Structure 1
């Protein structure tokens, strides 16, 4: 007999973006390991990105529970236009460029919505789920965040019911980069810290996506912490031909602080110094992009070489990955992002295209790329090495020999990772 497990998640199809992928795939494979997932999601959620194609991946055999959610972003849009949408996507303008409305919205978001803008969903969810759990004799609940309001749901269920509670952190809580941009008062910072500590010390088990996050949480709690990274799923696609241009493709959001001026400088210099490179080069940007990044690209005279695609479905994003000559993975140059492993990295790994990654020293991303032999990782000070490597890749492109020889990728398959999860459950 399969074990029933209740999964509380905010992101679920038709939501798009990286937040939906992790539990969509866990739910897909859990039945293979004698676990029956029951998924609880918000009704009428205000998702910043929509990808209706992902609905096809949800099995008709999965029980989906819904209750309505009220969110402040709709009202915020009436007051601020598209600023509320960009903030909900995580794209925050640099402080010195923020107007009064942006500063006010960030202050309100940070200090009046603790832990986040979905806090109003906690009370009705606890009421609904308490009855459902008792009626259906469910003894295990998993919450996944962000939004961390979902962990507050788990906290209250654990407090009132005899259940096993597993808290899954796709990202850290108080140390994530954008947390510093919320203009928090000292009292609000203390509330976040206290709530984070209470969640970490009450959950029966904690799951994180990287070793740095595990180390961070070990300083707060003695509860067992397991690392289960994100991963890749096997997707059948048509035969895809590589781009004729020497394409460097970044897939996903380019936040304002995720703006690698060293890379723009390298590309600008290569264009100036090599006429054939200038003729062949194209920079594909697939996803949301901050105004600060666009300004930097203009400054380095890269605008004529940009193919600004915008947001596309997950299926289309996979196609772009597989047809690009090189793939770009860019993370903010900060110790706060050492623990961030973008979900797209794992799909990059199986695309058979070399990866150029930039990020902070000590990142798990560097370890994964090097151990799988799938590309090169650079710090934001590596101008000469970055330039030399891109030129080397370009020469391989001209000779028709640009490819990778990956190793050890099976450790990141969604099925393998779900088996690890099932053992914790």
Structure 2
């Protein structure tokens, strides 16, 4: 088998969506002739942990570890709560930020470029350079964010010019929404742009998770770019449907994703239909921002909400299959059109109606429509949203709320890994 070195920050016991992508690629790569070696930090600072994912790590995979210096640890001395929320990606509106939070954001954005794991780059390059030579590894894949891991790949490429270096962008770099909230100086913005360009033009091949990101990067580099989305795994989880009309969102619900239109419409339906009010349950699992909870209370929905907190991945799938309706939410902005939440693909597997709410021309919503897995509405779709929720509620009452999705097999983790394997060996003409 051909050895391939994967450099990733998120790995079990890390929780959240970032860990799933390469955990599953590593599982299936041997079926396509590749022996994965995985390089991870020895002492990471994960804002979320899920010990159950350790059981999913393939027994034969070679794991390499080196210590990492995590500035979030010393930042927590000032405020453990605010440090955790920032490292989790929860950044409040500027007018709600405390002076300490503004200070932490400025430090994060301007002193740690491209991110807080920058000090892991040089020692990793020294260590891995020896591994590449000793083990005759000719392909390295770096996965970001954190995008500092791409700088490890760039450093290895400089030392080993014949190395094939592939970058995997789970999210964009300078165009992602939270980038603007880091209180960057003009000099820091230029440095981010320069590093992004260096990585995109220094890599041999680039993998992205959406067509939007591909089109964006094609303006910055001539290197080959392949879209490989996230996906799902097969395997049935026997669960009966919830007895309530459960509208469920399992995953982080950050401030900017707050679906005020949904709360408004649900509030109207509760007031207009007594039976709807009797059966409605809004289920939120994962990190939920205080602003979201305030909106729920503002619209009089507090009696209908169930807050689950962080949910282990195995339990997530059970909740998804039990829900009557699954919520897929994205920030309503041009920058998020290419953001496809990883939970979408597990939603597809659950085969429950998906209510997708996001910006115009959103790829996540388009996949929902294309696979006939539910409905996609935008911020100006209040009437459509009300109609579909009432339609689904009446079907729920009759015991006939079902969907028949098509084409979802293309998003199975094995099929996606085959695409990755073919891209590794692909040579441009």
Is this a same-fold pair by TM over 0.5? yes
| Alignment partner of 1:228 is 2:257 | no
Question: 1:315-342: per-residue Cα shift (whole Å, max 9, x none)?
Answer: 1111100000000011000011001000
1:308-327 correspondence runs (5 A): 308-327=307-326
Q: Which residue matches 2:200?
A: 200
Matches within 5 A, 1:270-281: 270-281=269-280
Q: CA deviation at 1:81?
A: 2.5
Q: Take 1:389 and 1:410, find their aligned partners in 2: how far apart are those partners? A: 26
Task: Give the Cα–Cα distance (whole angstroms) in 2 for the partners of residues 390 and 416 of structure 1.
Answer: 33
Separation in 2 of the partners of 1:381 and 1:155? 44
Q: Is 1:187 aligned to 2:180, yes or no?
A: no
Aligned length: 423
- Is it true that 1:90 corresponds to 2:89 in the alignment? yes
Q: Distance in 1 between matches of 2:315 and 2:90?
A: 22
CA distance in 1, matches of 2:313, 2:94: 32
- Show CA shifts across 1:375-421 (max 9, x none): 00000111000001000000000000001101101110000000000
User: Is the partner of 2:78 in helix, strand or coil?
Assistant: helix
| Deviation at residue 201 of structure 1 after TM alignment | 0.3
C-alpha displacement of 1:424: 1.2
Uncovered stretches (5+) of structure 1, i.e. residues with no partner? none
Q: What CA distance in whole angstroms lies between the structure 1 residues aligned with 2:42 and 2:128?
A: 14
The CA distance in 1 between the partners of 2:31 and 2:349, in whole Å, is 23
Q: What SS does structure 2 have at the residue aligned with 1:82?
A: helix
Equivalences for residues 348-387 of structure 1 within 5 A: 348-387=347-386
1:235 deviation in Å? Answer: 2.8
Question: What corresponds to 2:289 in structure 1?
Answer: 290
Paired with 1:301 and 1:367, the residues of 2 have a C-alpha distance of 31
Residue in structure 2 matched with residue 77 of structure 1 by the alignment: 76
Correspondence for 2:419 = 420
| Distance apart, 1:70 and its partner CA | 0.9
SS at 1:78's partner residue?
coil
Could you say what secondary structure the match of 2:255 adopts?
A: coil
Distance 2:304 2:422 in 1: 49
Structure 2: runs of 5 or more not aligned: 425-429
Tell me whether 1:130 sits opposite 2:129 in the alignment: yes
Query: 2: CA distance between counterparts of 1:306 and 1:210?
Result: 33
User: Any idea what SS the aligned residue of 2:276 has?
Assistant: helix
| Aligned counterparts of 1:218 and 1:302: Cα–Cα separation in 2 | 45
**CA RMSD in angstroms, aligned pairs only:** 0.6
Give 1:234 shift.
1.1
How far does residue 119 in structure 1 lie from its aligned partner after superposition?
0.5
**Cα distance in structure 1, aligned partners of 2:235 and 2:289:** 30
Equivalent position of 1:178 in the other structure: 178
Write the distance in 2 (CA, Å) between the matches of 1:304 and 1:78.
Answer: 37
Partner of 1:117: 116
Deviation beyond 3 Å, 4+ runs, structure 1:
none
